[in-house]
Amino acid sequence: MVQLSGYLLYIAFFLYLAATILFAVSVTGRKWRNKEGEMRGNRWAILGFLASIFASIFSIGYFITRWYVAGHAPVSNMYEYMTFFSIAIGLAFIILYAIYRSNYLGLFTMPVVMLLIAYASMFPGEISPLIPSLQSHWLMIHVITVALGQGILTIGMAAGLIYLLRTIDFTKSNLRSRSMEFIIFCVLSLIGFIVAGSLFNAVHYEAEFKYINEFETEATIIYKKPALIGPNQGELITEGAFSPFFNVPGNIRADDLNTVIWSILTGLILYILLRLILRKRISAAIQPLLKGVSPQFIDEISYRAIAIGFPVFTLGGLIFAMIWAEIAWSRFWGWDPKEVWALITFLFYAAYLHLRLSKGWHGERSAWLCVIGFGIIMFNLVFVNLVISGLHSYAL
């Protein structure tokens, strides 16, 4: 059954890839466009939508079979959570596409789903028994609701990103155009995480260190990538392995911070290569694909996605989380890093809705907030989850 769940996820991944290609053809294939230019009815977009539906069906099949084998909701570690997060985005896309029929949204959302599945595959996928604090039905309620909320909010990000790429003048070098390039660099760094992890896994690289952990006791840790930074008071055991330039304090997860640094370096290399190939800003190369987008239409999609996703995230990330925290740790709130960033996420999207509804922040300002909000979500999932030690570190 474990192998079956893995096969179902592989099939879903390639169906998402097929959906990406079909939506790309629907956007770029001139002779299949309809007279309105939005391509709402062309057959390639319909096939792309069907591929995304079947991809979601297979990914849900993965989720159900893994749940059956594990005996609990498969959302208890980074592999399982990021995989379910990608499933949630796919489901949110299906609902919003059925309402708005924007092929551009499919072109930008499907690659995000694929990227997150690939990202999840870099983490250990073994099924492990739950630690005592996780052995509760609130695991399913809290984490699944959070992922669903974040999945819907991600659609708002995709729509906001489309708006910015459609409307910004990339012939000018200013803060707006440079910020968009930075966003693309962040995406490439996520791809860099996958590339670097795959390369070093292929050569079976390992380096073992002795170090002093956050509990002031001696422990060992294994690096899967050459150590640019070492653990607290670390001593390299593996002969011939790369020695770190410096060590970090005990409250920092040094091996995961090392992975983040490798991801950024690999992303930088990818960015430079693309700039050399395109001979222009990457965002400027993407913009011509979006000439048929109506800025007002895509702005409406981004707002609707945030308006739906925000209360779902609030329910799971704050209300259900505090109930579970009281049951597991006998306190509603403890200022754990994950709790703090969940609160920051809530406050940010609450401010977005306030500015949108009360202050008239539509269009570009609204789009920037959508993209920044997703950046906060990913910072919480990637940096806070991997690097900073806390009560939620078991999620690795």
Element (H, E) at 229: strand 229-230
Distance CA 3, CA 127 (A): 12
Distance CA 57, CA 35 (A): 33
| Least confident among 26-30, 65-69, 376-380, 389-393 | 389-393
| pLDDT, tens only, 102-123 | 899 999 999 999 999 998 888 8
pLDDT at residue 1 above 80? no
| Least confident among 152-166, 172-186, 205-219 | 205-219
pLDDT at 215: 74
Q: How many Cβ atoms from other residues are within 10 Å of residue 359's Cβ?
A: 9
Kindly report the average pLDDT of the chain as a whole number. 87
Intra-chain end-to-end CA distance of the chain, in Å: 23
pLDDT at 37: 44
Element (H, E) at 246: strand 246-247
Which residues have CB under 8 Å from 287's CB, separation 6+? Answer: 165, 166, 168, 170
| pLDDT, tens only, 219-263 | 888 898 999 998 888 888 998 888 888 888 876 778 888 888 999
Phi, psi of 235 (to 5 degrees): -130, 120
235 or 34, higher pLDDT: 235
Q: How many Cβ atoms from other residues are within 10 Å of residue 73's Cβ?
A: 20
pLDDT at 192: 92
pLDDT at 134: 67
Domain ranges of the chain: 76-202+264-395, 207-258
pLDDT at residue 175 above 80? yes
- Residue 41 binned pLDDT confidence (cut-offs 50, 70, 90): very low
Element (H, E) at 140: helix 137-167
Short-list 92, 159, 154, CA closest to 367: 159
The helix/strand/coil state of 377 is helix
Phi, psi of 345 (to 5 degrees): -60, -45
pLDDT at residue 272 above 90? yes
Which residues have CB under 8 Å from 154's CB, separation 6+? Answer: 89, 92, 109, 112, 309, 374, 377
- DSSP string covering 325-346: HHHHHS-S----HHHHHHHHHH
| pLDDT, tens only, 79-92 | 888 999 999 999 99
Q: Which residue is it, tokens 């999609």? A: 301
pLDDT at residue 35 above 50? no
Name the token pair of 36.
Answer: 């309105």
- DSSP string covering 179-222: HHHHHHHHHHHHHHHHHHHHHHHHTT--EEEEEE-TTS-EEEEE
Distance CA 117, CA 147 (A): 14
The helix/strand/coil state of 388 is strand
Q: How far is CA 385 from CA 26, 105, 256, 381, 388, in A?
A: 38, 28, 9, 5, 6
| pLDDT, tens only, 354-375 | 999 898 888 899 999 999 999 9
Distance CA 365, CA 367 (A): 5
The helix/strand/coil state of 373 is helix
